[in-house]
A and B are shown apart, each in its own frame.
Chain A
Amino acid sequence: MSNITNEGLILACSAIGAGLALIAGIGPGVGQGIAAGLAANAVGRNPGAKSDITSTMLLGQAVAETTGLYGFATAIILLFVAPLLGKL
């Protein structure tokens, strides 16, 4: 353990943090799946309103996706900008 440099430790922990940040992808996946399932249900009940249902579904899914994208942005920053290296 003694031959790990400070930079190496920070880079390794940043990579682990990036992986953990992407767990945020679970939420949007479940949410978008529920929205798509309910939209399919709605189209089955009322096929005439298909275009309205589709646009509402897409809007809701895009909003639900936001938290996942925050996780993705965090991971990208940790991996490629590595801001913690500057704190040494």
Chain B
Amino acid sequence: MNVLLMAERAMSALSAANLAIPKKMLAQEKEADFYIKFLYEYEIGGQKLYLTTTHVSLFIVTVLLLILFVCASRKMKNPDEVPGTFQNILELFVEMLGNMVKGIMGENGVRFVNYISAIFLFILFCNISSLIGLRPPTADYGVTLPLGLITFAMVHYNGIKKNKVKHFTNLFQPLPLLFPINLIGEFAVPLSLSLRLFGNVLSGTVMMGLWYGLLPLLVKLGIPAALHVYFDVFSGAIQTYVFCMLTMVYVNDKIAD
């Protein structure tokens, strides 16, 4: 017996018992909605390109971040002697990010604080943007792969700057025989970084999409709040932390003395 039939039977049983649950509350919807949607189509050089929901979410997240930054810099130009709520939060964030970078990279890493802080805030805002009804931009591989490639470029730029030719001869290090494995290891870094972020955020998005799309209205009251806390806030914050942490660990590997 299939599930739909069972739901039908249960519904008729309920209505026979004259319970106060309206029929609409138990009706099943059949559209799971977690895809990237095309909003606008245009052509460049014969190639069809689309404006998608990812672009819109990215734009909104960026604007929100810019507003936050402008407000923050205005506030910190003439800070209060006794910090208020907003200033307290800003100081907490800056101190936390600074301590995180210094804790892993040591005094060497002070110049990376700006980059790590920026990328931390960006990924964090992207991950929790589904709380305001957007499709999280990081659930699109086209967003996370560039983030991984930036890390890749940073690792090798700093490695070449620090070790010159030794940066390449290190690939032959313990044994020349291990060169292919070392090479694969280097190229796996951006892939695994971006796939990890993408997979985690996408799994949350798919879960929420299935929950909102396939279940009757009755279980959509209240329960999704708990799911949002886990999938968006908790998982998003952890993945943000992990992305920044791994970036710092990889860069630190190359610039350590």
Q: CB-CB < 8 A to B206: which residues of A? A: 76
What per-residue 1/0 map shows which CB atoms of B219-257 lie under 8 Å from chain A? 000000000000000000011011001100100000000
- Give the docked Cα–Cα distance between A62 and B203 (Å): 15
Query: Are the CB atoms of B242 and A76 closer together than 8 Å?
Result: no
Q: CB-CB < 8 A to A62: which residues of B? A: 196, 238-239, 242, 246
Q: CB-CB < 8 A to A55: which residues of B? A: 245
Q: Which of A58, A70, A80 sits near B241, CB closer than 8 Å?
A: A58
- Give the docked Cα–Cα distance between A55 and B249 (Å): 13
Query: Are the CB atoms of A58 and B203 closer together than 8 Å?
Result: no
**Nearest neighbor of B200 in chain A, beta-carbon distance:** A69
Q: Nearest-CB distance from B94 to chain A (Å)?
A: 18
- A-B interface contact total, Cβ < 8 Å: 36
Q: Nearest-CB distance from B240 to chain A (Å)?
A: 11
Query: Are the CB atoms of A73 and B241 closer together than 8 Å?
Result: no
Q: A58-B238, A62-B239 are in contact. Are A69 and B245 (CB under 8 A)?
A: no
Tell whether B124 is near chain A: CB-to-CB under 8 Å.
no
Q: Which of A58, A63, A69 sits near B199, CB closer than 8 Å?
A: A69
- Give the docked Cα–Cα distance between A65 and B197 (Å): 11
**Nearest neighbor of A55 in chain B, beta-carbon distance:** B245
**Nearest neighbor of B34 in chain A, beta-carbon distance:** A80
**Nearest neighbor of B249 in chain A, beta-carbon distance:** A59
Q: CB-CB < 8 A to B199: which residues of A? A: 69-70, 72-73
Query: Are the CB atoms of A69 and B241 closer together than 8 Å?
Result: no
Tell whether A41 is near chain B: CB-to-CB under 8 Å.
no
Q: CB-CB < 8 A to B105: which residues of A? A: none
Q: A55-B245, A59-B245, A76-B202 are in contact. Are A69 and B238 (CB under 8 A)?
A: no
Q: CB-CB < 8 A to B238: which residues of A? A: 58, 62
**Nearest neighbor of A65 in chain B, beta-carbon distance:** B196
What per-residue 1/0 map shows which CB atoms of B75-118 lie under 8 Å from chain A? 00000000000000000000000000000000000000000000
Q: CB-CB < 8 A to B200: which residues of A? A: 65, 69
Interface residues in A52-86 by Cβ distance below 8 A to B read: 55, 58-59, 62-63, 65-66, 69-70, 72-73, 76, 80
Interface residues of A (CB under 8 A from B): 55, 58-59, 62-63, 65-66, 69-70, 72-73, 76, 80
